Amino acid sequence: MFLIVGLGNPGKQYEHTRHNIGFDVMDALAEKYNISISEKKHKALCGKGVINGVKVVLAKPQTYMNLSGESVAELVNYYKMDPEEEMIVIYDDISLAPGNLRIRKKGSAGGHNGIKNIIAMTGTQNFLRIKVGVGEKPAGWDLADHVLGHFDAADRAEVEKAIGHAVEAAEMMITGETDAAMNRYNVKKKEE
């Protein structure tokens, strides 16, 4: 079994904001595989299904972003999963342009409070992740205002493509093809 967690904030006012890109990817996965993410448990909305022959739990923590680890730790403990082997976390990344992805096998929180809390609550930073680019905050903007804001039409079009790529990457990762997913979808760093 695999746990796939998309990060975001609950509530209508946060729908489709930059910070809720993880929820958008979960909705796309759920739609593609006809999984209903509606069961309220473990401080999350959850749904069970099968993707590429692998049993999955799709989860959207409802704790607000900064406490995402509370929900993730409950899910990992309840399903007796090893977060280092059986979990993917999907979330926004302001250091990537809208539409870009970066897949990692492990890493620090990189300033992302949701990831920081997951690392604290699960006791590991060695879990698979798909970071979806939402763009850097404009100069002079407050970070919270930026990540809680909506994309303009051009950026949203790029993000919709990225959501599809994140779904495909997750499909590959749960069947052990993380390296292939990284090769296919990771943005090549610009030459300095």
CATH code, 31: 3.40.50.1470
99 belongs to a structural domain: yes
180 belongs to a structural domain: yes
126 annotated to bind ligand:
no
Alpha-carbon span 10 to 51, nearest angstrom: 25
34 belongs to a structural domain: yes
191 belongs to a structural domain: no
Residue that has been written with the tokens 């930026």 in this structure: 146
153 belongs to a structural domain: yes
98 belongs to a structural domain: yes
CB 7 within 8 A of CB 22: yes
**Residue ranges making up the domain that contains 63:** 2-185
Per-residue burial over 156-172, b = 16 or more CB atoms within 10 Å of its CB, e = otherwise:
eebbeebbebbbebbbb
192 belongs to a structural domain: no
pLDDT tens readout for residues 40-92: 999 999 999 999 999 999 999 999 999 999 999 999 999 999 999 999 999 99
Catalytic residue numbers? 19
190 belongs to a structural domain: no
The answer on pLDDT for 188 being more than 80 is: no
The answer on pLDDT for 115 being more than 50 is: yes
How many domains does the chain fold into? 1
* Stated pTM of the model: 0.95
66 annotated to bind ligand:
yes
% of the chain at pLDDT higher than 70: 97
Q: Give the residue among 161, 148, 59 at the shortest CA–CA distance from 101.
A: 161
33 annotated to bind ligand:
no
Read off the amino acid at residue 144.
Answer: A
Read off the amino acid at residue 99.
Answer: G
